[in-house]
Chains A and B, each alone.
Chain A
Amino acid sequence: MSRATIACKDDAHPMNLLTVIVLLPLAGFLLNGLLGRRLGRTFVSVVGCGLPVLAFLATFKAVLLLQAAGPDAALLEVAYRWASFGDRGFDVAFYFDRLTAVMTLIITGVGSLIHVYSTGYMKDDPGYARYFAYLNLFLFFMLTLVLGRSLLVCFVGWEGVGLASYLLIGFWFEDPAKAAAGKKAFITNRVGDAGFLLGLFLLYWALGTVNMDEINAAFAAPIAPAVSASLVGVLLFIGATGKSAQIPLHVWLPDAMAGPTPVSALIHAATMVTAGIYLVARLHGIYEHAPAASQVVAVIGVLTAFFAATIALVQTDIKKVLAYSTVSQLGLMFLALGVGAYGVAVFHVYTHAFFKACLFLGAGSVIHALGGEQDIRKMGGLWRKIPVTFFTFAVATAAIAGIPPLAGFFSKDEILWFAFASEHGGSPILWALGSATALMTSFYMFRLLWLTFLTPSRMSHETEHHVHESPLSMTGVLIVLAVLSAIGGFFELPHFLEPLLPIPAVVESLEHFEHTLVFVAVAVALLGLAAATFMYRRGLARGEALAARFPRLHRVLGGKYYIDELFEAVLYRPLHWVSDRVFLGLGDRLLIDGSLHGLAVLTRRASGRLSRVQTGQLQWYVAMAVIGVVGCLVWVWRHG
């Protein structure tokens, strides 16, 4: 599996291209951050949107270069040596192969679109310059994460992206709830990062290197390295769950909706949350040799998918529905990774980026139109008032639901197929849960579509007359994304990534099932559409009736299975109690300080008693003297 890596430094290649791609957004951050407020809005939007577009073009150039170099070639570029220890050390190097090409294209492409969209959405926001600075900062860290060759550089991007999401979620920091959501996101990510670090240390000790391509090669090598692939796999997967909001660490994503909608679109739909999938896909070498770890990935993936889909059924906030749908889709991607279909997972990332970004931006456009209203129960009848948003939203909904010609159908169908038949851990149960999730997905997406656009209007009078279509900068982006999510599916990504990410072999006995499963998938999608139409055609009535019949189930789903409260009770409060009562109260105050003060009191009291010996009586002193003399004499006898 030797790979033709072309050192970027050679002459056929312009000045190190990859470093430029990474540094462009950083320049944007610095320019906007430092000068933004002073130089006015136009400067900010030009720099803010211009630099990501430039980065996109540079990526395009790199992709062309890569194509010229053959299927499994890679561009390698060492920026500088971070730290060296004797003959070995860590250096900051960038690596560009087909997988990175896809990811970078998505990041810069969708990123630029979202930047353009944000110029419209955030137009009248006082923190305009600060917003674009943070957005560019996010792009910089995301590109470092994706382009980094060593796990260390990837980790720099990993935490940086966490920081950027912290800043962006808590963008309107006046409202303490929003700031708390930012904090929660950062800390939950941090827990994941701790797992990532553990995996990184283990790898460095075992293989002496953290460069991802060398790691893949080491695990593929005949003599297996000293460490068990599954352990490393699970540790890195913990990092992935933190970043891609899988079951134990998914609590931060729904709260992250507190940030501006374009942020949700960029970070919590298209790019950041896919970092976990990129990591597992990139280090497929480990997971190929770690069936146990892959099984864990698959199971957690499918559970998260199913579990998030159920919650999404009852959500009433337009962005929360989309958030849980993202968690669910990510679960499906991990399912694909778990069964060894790495290429397919990346394919789903690719398609998901398009239609989820389109959905989020559409939701943003709706919110923008309604002047901040996010509760779908107070919407309805918008399809006539904001037709473009409605049309693009409908296309994206169809895509995510898996209606055949659109992108979602292709990637989801392949995931379900490999979940069913992959040799590398596929099983009918996984397929069944996956299909159920697909059913629920199409149901709640079309429910959303019906309630927001098609049902008779439930808007309050003054919002109704205030509704207006979003400016071109927003609708334009929506149209581009809708088109992409429509035709995206035809570009056979898994085969494009074939040499890099192997497509798992399929169990022969199940070979012939492929076509039947395709029909089943289509049937599931249409069934969801029909159910949603039946339930919500005339408005909320039937929905509420159903909810009334299963009040307890509705409350549990509505309360998100009370996971947050569980974490609060099991983790946060005991930690506080222990630190406050046990460590501070008992440890510091009582034991350590107490013993010190005790010592001081002891000495004072002892000296007090001793001083009473000085009675002032002469005779007492003479008596003492005599005892002394007799004592000395006795001592002299014994030792004399």
Chain B
Amino acid sequence: MRVALALISCMLSLAGIYAMLGVHVVAVFQVLIYVGAVMVFMVYVIMLLDVRDPSFVRRYSRLLLPGIVLGALLAGALGISAIRLGAPVIQPGAGAAPSYLVQPFSVEFLREYWLHFELTSVLLVAAVVAAIAIIRSGRRSDG
């Protein structure tokens, strides 16, 4: 449970950063989808499963030390490669900086990327069907 709360707070702070950067749409949806939908679902599941589970007691797997070392290594490597590569590959946009406010962004978004928007709906439907399939196969196997 504590992990979930920590994660929610982290996501909210991220939303804050986005807002400060002026990308309000993203900030709003971040809160709406991530915190609202995903984390609620996660909290719900955590509450569903009983707490006495042994994995809560022995928290860390055998890979504790190597895990941390690898994490640090990765972060270092990413950092170094970012510094060495210097300016990002893609050139700064020639046009005026588009405003990230809600109205112009959504007009722009739906005019150009309507296809991708529709595709996402297909993806969601697929996800729902998959979820149901897993549940049913689960019931049949123990039924």
Seen from chain A, the residues whose Cβ lies within 8 Å of a Cβ on chain B are 617, 619-620, 623, 626-627, 629-630, 633-634, 636-637, 640
Contact = CB atoms under 8 A, between A and B. Distances in A.
Contacts of A630: 70, 73-74, 77
Given A630-B73, A630-B74, A637 B80 contact: yes
Nearest to A620: B63
A120 to B, nearest CB: 101
Nearest to B61: A619
A626 B81 contact: no
B37 interface: no
Given A619-B63, A619-B67, A637-B81, 13 more contacts: A617-B61, A619-B61, A623-B67, A623-B70, A626-B74, A629-B77, A630-B70, A630-B73, A633-B77, A633-B80, A633-B81, A637-B80, A637-B84
A629 B85 CA distance: 17
A636 B81 contact: yes
B70 A626 contact: yes
B140 to A, nearest CB: 25
B128 to A, nearest CB: 25
7 closest residue pairs by CB, A with B: A633-B77, A626-B70, A619-B63, A630-B77, A633-B81, A619-B61, A630-B73
A623 B77 contact: no
Nearest to B80: A637
Contacts of A636: 81
B127 interface: no
B70 A633 contact: no
B25 to A, nearest CB: 31
A626 B73 CA distance: 9
A288 to B, nearest CB: 95
Nearest to B73: A630
B78 interface: yes
A482 B71 CA distance: 117
Contact of A634 (B61, B71, B77, B85): B77
A627 B73 CA distance: 9
Interface of B: 61, 63, 66-67, 70-71, 73-74, 77-78, 80-81, 84-85
A123 B55 CA distance: 107
A627 B61 contact: no
B105 to A, nearest CB: 33
A595 to B, nearest CB: 41
Contacts of B66: 623
A619 to B, nearest CB: 5
A637 B84 CA distance: 8
A636 B84 CA distance: 11
B127 to A, nearest CB: 21
A117 to B, nearest CB: 101
A619 B63 CA distance: 7
Contacts of A617: 61
A633 B63 contact: no
Contacts of B74: 626, 629-630
16 contacts: A617-B61, A619-B61, A619-B63, A619-B67, A620-B63, A623-B66, A623-B70, A626-B70, A629-B77, A630-B70, A633-B78, A633-B80, A634-B77, A637-B80, A637-B84, A640-B84
A623 B71 CA distance: 9
Nearest to B63: A619
Contacts of B61: 617, 619
A457 B7 CA distance: 130
Given A619-B63, A620-B63, A637-B84, A627 B70 contact: yes
A636 B77 CA distance: 11
A375 B67 CA distance: 101
B81 A623 contact: no
Most buried by B among A633, A637, A640: A633
A251 to B, nearest CB: 81
A633 B76 CA distance: 11
Nearest to B66: A623
Contacts of A620: 63
Contacts of A629: 74, 77
Contacts of B78: 633
B87 to A, nearest CB: 14
A623 B63 contact: yes
Contacts of A634: 77
A502 to B, nearest CB: 103
A630 B66 CA distance: 14
Nearest to B84: A637
A634 B74 CA distance: 10
A630 B71 CA distance: 10
A640 B85 CA distance: 9
A633 B84 CA distance: 11
A372 B27 CA distance: 125
A623 B74 CA distance: 11
Contacts of A640: 84-85
Contacts of B80: 633, 637
Contacts of A619: 61, 63, 67
Nearest to A627: B70
B60 to A, nearest CB: 10
A627 B69 CA distance: 11
B54 to A, nearest CB: 16
Contacts of B81: 633, 636-637
B75 to A, nearest CB: 10
A634 B85 CA distance: 13
A636 B61 CA distance: 32
Nearest to A634: B77
A524 B80 CA distance: 117
Nearest to A626: B70
A620 B62 CA distance: 10
A626 B76 CA distance: 12
Most buried by B among A617, A630, A640: A630
Nearest to A629: B74
B129 to A, nearest CB: 25
A631 to B, nearest CB: 9
A634 B80 CA distance: 10
Contacts of B77: 629-630, 633-634
B84 to A, nearest CB: 6
Contacts of A627: 70
A637 B85 CA distance: 9
Contacts of A623: 63, 66-67, 70
A337 to B, nearest CB: 94
A623 B65 CA distance: 12
A633 B80 CA distance: 9
A71 to B, nearest CB: 110
A353 B5 CA distance: 125
Nearest to B78: A633
A629 B76 CA distance: 12
Contacts of A633: 77-78, 80-81
A629 B78 CA distance: 10
